Chains A and B, each alone.
Chain A
Amino acid sequence: MERKNQNPIVNWIVKSKILGILFFVIIGATAVFKLGTALLDNPSLFLQQVVNGLQLGFVYALIALGYTMIYGIIQLINFAHGDVFMVGAFASFYSISRYNVHLWFQNLFPSVPAMLAQAIGAVTVVLVSMVVCALLAFTIERIAYKPLRTAPRISALITAIGISFFLEYFGALGFVFTPNYITYERPFEVTSWYIGPEGFGSIQAGVATPPHSLIFSNIFLIIVLASVFLLLVLQYIVKRTKIGKAMRAVAYDKPTARLMGINSDAVISITFALGAALAGAAGVLYAIAYPQVFFSMGIIPGMKAFVAAVVGGIGSIPGAFIGALIMGQAETLSAAYISTPMRDAIAFSLLIVVLLIRPKGIMGETSSEKV
């Protein structure tokens, strides 16, 4: 039985949701004030933290793209995505330190300039990981998800969690990846540059960099370029190609798409492979940025990328990208200006706040078109 409140003021407060709005306004104002004073206080430090956040955000973006694609097509939150990411990192670890894949091109064509050969070598490593992950995801999809296509959605979700644990703990076995933390060997040397009032130059070991300058490394550039490139490729595939059209059709209405002669199983498999390839690329880039690989490395980044995808509006590719960049900034700036141990708490609170204001996410559309 509902109890009516007679007090008109209380009624108005409840009806207009003023308290909720006030809460967000206060939090938002505090955050803006805090960041604003930090910016005015030391602009170069603030910009440096933004650059740090961008690097993190772009890596999350690559993982988030895979989440959002798969959700867009079959409304499955693929919890194994973070572990595919881990396999991608390990694939590149083995291809570099055991098979020297990054040197193949250099050995085949020794006359090519070293810089170019190194770049091509790194790209080869990324491609190998992408292929490995695509094949893995294809297999997972065929074994674990396809038989459940008509089952309730929750069954597929639980299966995804099962696959996730399987990949982690199978990887932790002594004869697979071992449970150890393994130092990752980068396929190229790291160089850092500074840019600021003192001009532009490269950073030498043991030499202090001039104050108030912005520091960035070739890793940062590679991550940004690779993420943007892969985003554009993905957008092209989804919007401009025949397979992309088929994907959108399957996302829109699977039975009708099938009646129109689209092989929906094949389309779903390709979507999985494509998403996993992105996770593989992200795995390589992540391992290059944070040079350590271990069996459970995919859990936290996977979780954060998932949050990013939801914040951006799950199912939307540009949304996942924007969500990931917001996550990266939220995490770095809260670590820098609020509290390092609370960085994850703050980043995940962001999810709640965004979902309260926009339940569909930033770019989430109310229409039924996905991808």
Chain B
Amino acid sequence: MKKNVLLSIVVLLALALAACAPAAAEGPAAAEGDTIKVANLSPLTGPVPTFGESTKNGFMMAVEEWNANGGILGKQIEPIVEDSQCTADPAVNAANKVIDQDGVHYIVGEVCSSASIPVSEVAQEKGVLMISPTSTNADVTLNLDGTTKDMVFRACFIDPFQGLVMAKFASDQGYTKAFVMSDQGNDYVRGLAEVFSEKFVEYGGEIVGSENYTGTDTDFSAILTKVADSGAEVLYLPDYYNVINLVAAQAKQLGITAVMMGADGWDSSDLDIAAADGGYYSNHYSPDDTRDVVVDWVSKYTEKYGATPDALATLAYDATNLLFAAIEKAGVDDAAAVATAMESLSYDAVSGTVTFDEQHNPIKSAVVLQVKDGAIQFVASVAP
């Protein structure tokens, strides 16, 4: 750990020096000709420093790989990492600094939606391309009037997308009858449940019942009795693990045979693995995925940083790669041209093959995991 900290300080110092060097030489035009500057805004301090560390690692890994392969458009990439603290003000300051002082045209970040939204406004205003690796809030890429911010993208899918993936997975497994439970007071749960219900019907299934509950409920027997009576084969419950634990235990008691399915809210070490046995849930990425690009990424990252890459490192790596691929596709070092190129890009990233929809959200596969025999197992990668 200590070594890591030391290493990152050295890296940061080196970066700071490197960033200062061209400015000191007072030749911005000449400097622009030699390298392509890319900034990364990561919350290296603040409430979620581990997120920042992973994000920076993923970003640096992508930069080093592209540089080792000769850079983009024949130019080396010059990375600039700034601490944005997962907070609006420091993130905006960092964005202004990299844009005005360092003259970057491309930003990879921020991690947290609360910081990404104000940064996206800065990027949009100053004509800088921004791609957030992990901010899920819809407003990151959308203006208040619902139009898309043309310079802003993200590399992760937004929450309701998982509902679509699970609907497809369920119908691929041959299930035709689903029951949907959702917490009416929770936007995340409600969004997923609505999308699942809509898409499951589109894929030829039938929603045999749906029920709402409230976040403080502990007794689900009335709803579960209805589930049993409805003859549902799938019980879609995209809530957090604490609710899953209660529902799963009671479902078992009432002899419910419907397969439980959910989303990344299940992803917790506190999930009651015994009660939820047999259930499926969707997630962004699994290190156990068997696709070549995933195996390759996991081994490279593990070798370099001594840990299995988490979703944050993976999405940062993907976001950076997407950006570089778009620059290469555009053929010029110009943010607006790259943004246009990005819109029609198709790239085989670690977290799935990515294309972008009109709202600049990626269309890509999600992974489906199963709770089975006391462990979480990778089942499939599902493309929409």
Binding site for B on A (CB under 8 A): 42, 45, 48-49, 52-53, 55-56, 180-183, 190, 192, 194, 203, 205-209, 215, 217, 219, 290-292, 294, 297, 300-301, 331-333, 335-336, 339-341, 343-344
Q: Is the CB of B218 within 8 A of A181?
A: no
Stretch at the interface among B44-52, B253-261, B280-288: B253-261
A-B contact pairs, 22 of them (CB 8 A): A49-B225, A52-B219, A56-B221, A181-B270, A182-B270, A183-B270, A209-B228, A217-B253, A217-B254, A219-B253, A290-B246, A290-B249, A291-B246, A291-B272, A294-B242, A332-B221, A332-B222, A336-B222, A339-B212, A340-B211, A341-B214, A343-B217
Chain B hits for A42, CB < 8 A: 229
CB-CB nearest 6 A-B residue pairs: A52-B221, A335-B222, A181-B242, A203-B255, A336-B222, A290-B218
Chain A hits for B245, CB < 8 A: 181, 183, 291-292
Contact of B255 among A192, A301, A340 (CB under 8 A): A192
Bound state CA distance, A49 and B220, in angstroms?
11
Bound state CA distance, A220 and B142, in angstroms?
51
Q: Is the CB of B222 within 8 A of A291?
A: no
Q: Does B213 contact A (CB under 8 A)?
A: yes
Q: Is the CB of B242 within 8 A of A340?
A: no
Contact of A341 among B184, B221, B228, B278 (CB under 8 A): B184
**Do A215 and B255 form a contact, CB below 8 Å, given A291-B246, A292-B245, A341-B212?**
yes
A contacts with B: majority SS: mixed
Chain B hits for A333, CB < 8 A: 222
Q: Is the CB of B221 within 8 A of A192?
A: no
Bound state CA distance, A217 and B228, in angstroms?
15
Q: Does B176 contact A (CB under 8 A)?
A: no
Chain B hits for A183, CB < 8 A: 245, 270, 272
Q: Is the CB of B253 within 8 A of A45?
A: no
Excluding A331-B219, A332-B219, A340-B211, 6 further A-B contacts by CB distance (< 8 Å) are: A181-B242, A209-B228, A215-B255, A219-B253, A290-B218, A297-B218
Considering only CB atoms, which chain A residue lies closest to B226 in the complex?
A: A336
Contact of B213 among A209, A215, A301, A340 (CB under 8 A): A340
**Do A292 and B218 form a contact, CB below 8 Å, given A181-B245, A183-B270?**
yes
Chain A hits for B213, CB < 8 A: 340-341
What 1/0 flags go to B205-237 for Cβ under 8 Å of A?
A: 000000111101111011101101100000000
Name the residue among B212, B216, B221 with the largest chain A CB count within 10 angstroms: B221
**Do A340 and B229 form a contact, CB below 8 Å, given A55-B221, A192-B254?**
no
Q: How far in angstroms is the closest Cβ of chain A from B76?
A: 48
Q: How far in angstroms is the closest Cβ of chain B from A50?
A: 10
Bound state CA distance, A290 and B246, in angstroms?
6
